[in-house]
Amino acid sequence: MSRRKLFASTMGLAAMGALARPYIANAAATTAVVWQIQGFFPEEDAAFKKVVADYEKLSGNKIEYSIMPFPALNQKAVSALTSGDVPDLIFHDAPETILPQFGWNDQLMDVTDVVDTQKAILSQSALDSSSFYNSVKKARSFYLCPFKQACEPFHIWGDLVEKAGFKLADAPKTWDAFWDFFKPMQKSLRDKGMRKAYAYGLQVTTVGPNDGNNLFAGFWIANGGKDIVTKDGKLHSDDPVVREAVIKAVAWMADAYKGGFVPPEALSWNDADDNNGYHEKLFVMDFDGTLSTELAMFKDKKAYMEEMVVKGLPAGNDGKPVPALVGCGGGFIPKGAKNFEVSKEYMKYSMTPDVMNENLKGGLGRWVPAIPKIVKDDPFWLDPADPHRATYVQEAVLGPTIPTYNAFNPAWGQVQAEQLWTQTVADVVKNGMTPQAAAEKAFKRAEAIFAKFTFG
């Protein structure tokens, strides 16, 4: 099947009429300015450039893109949305950090017509992560075109587990017990000459931006607190189950840090520091988003194929399955974009299953498709020849998932920006507070933030 025919079959004849017109001359084409997040690996950028080239060939339009690192893109995006001097499309790996607030303020274009082209087959968590409440229109709508999703698996040095005299197959099946399994390995490794080895790369950072928040959420979800914020945007700080889940999370992480099982610098790590420490074999295991940890060493075949192990989520402390917290990447269009029609066409093209699949495969599978059917149909995603990918796909797509809470209420973005939850660990460790008092302080601040956002 030709690419043109494939395009028609996946997008429909109406879309085909707009996109498959022949290229006549530059004057007949329309250019869209796109800001694209830089990939973690060169392969991701190459995959993006291929999608652009294929789209330009099919449509006759021009995508004028700038690729920039996460911090720079975040800063430019916020500045542009605030000033009104905007590009036509922004493609972001963690749009939940900024979109809920700007959606609330009616500063984003509604992209429901784009999402609708694949809505029937997108994952529910992708859909939930793409819809935000608009306080001007008093309604929720789609402001993100979801393209890919990711979660937090466990990254383990299997060879260090064996060196310490343990077998990973013996790891307990529930959350706290699973984590506790790695504690005695620290002493064993130090006794064998690894004097600076730690059990955990626990991201209890108070400076962020993302990893500490996601880590903490994993702990309270495992303790039964997944409904801390619900789809109606309400914070359930008065729910005793939620409160107890947060207190247990604070207590466990503070004890791990005070017990010396975590590098002391962890309170001020950035998002890359735990990855770097893992690669240096500073600790046995880490809990961190995507497969970037393993793929960074993809060319070291011994490490990638034999020494590193990816594990999905153990059961909660109550023995029940734990849903993975899923974040979605994709494109969004600021209000004021001059060529938003091209942006929508480009995102419709990018979200077609075949294009989505080939793009993410080209990026080595660090992100997984937001369409579950893709990972079931293409053997690449569950190929047992790769020691890590199938486990990750099972957790991020095929197992139970819930969306990041930002989509439910923009207040959550401010809660995360203030590192409210990991600050509780610092309050226990550095300020001598009890876990109960630290959690109470965090809940009061969260309630004050949520009070600023009224749905109606």
Token code pair at residue 333: 């269009």
CB 124 within 8 A of CB 361: no
Sheet holding 283-287, edge to edge: 198-200, 283-287, 154-157, 308-311
Give, as one character, the DSSP assignment of residue 28: G
Q: pLDDT of 76-123, one tens digit each? A: 999 999 999 999 999 999 888 889 999 999 999 999 999 999 999 999
- pTM as predicted: 0.91
What is residue 157's three-state secondary structure? strand
Does the N-terminal peptide bond of residue 209 adopt cis geometry, omega within 30 degrees of 0? yes
The strand pair at 401-403 and 324-332 is best described as: parallel
Percentages helix, strand, coil for the chain (3-state, rounded to 5) are 50, 15, 35
pLDDT at 140: 95
Residue 21 has pLDDT above 60, yes or no: no
Q: pLDDT of 231-248, one tens digit each? A: 999 999 999 999 999 999
Q: pLDDT of 138-187, one tens digit each? A: 999 999 999 999 999 999 999 999 999 999 999 999 999 999 999 999 99
Q: What is the DSSP string of 161-183?
A: HHHTT--GGG--SBHHHHHHTTH
pLDDT bin (cut points 50, 70, 90) of residue 29 is low
Q: pLDDT of 143-154, one tens digit each? A: 999 999 999 999
Query: What are the structural domains, with CATH classification, of the chain?
Result: 3-151+325-403 (3.40.190.10), 154-324+406-450 (3.40.190.10)
Residue 13 has pLDDT above 60, yes or no: no
pLDDT bin (cut points 50, 70, 90) of residue 71 is confident
pLDDT at 207: 85
Q: pLDDT of 361-371, one tens digit each? A: 999 999 999 99
Q: Using alpha carbons, list the distances in angstroms from residue 195 to 65, 187, 446.
A: 48, 9, 40
The strand pair at 145-150 and 324-332 is best described as: antiparallel
Of 379, 201, 397, 366, the residue nearest 295 (C-alpha): 366
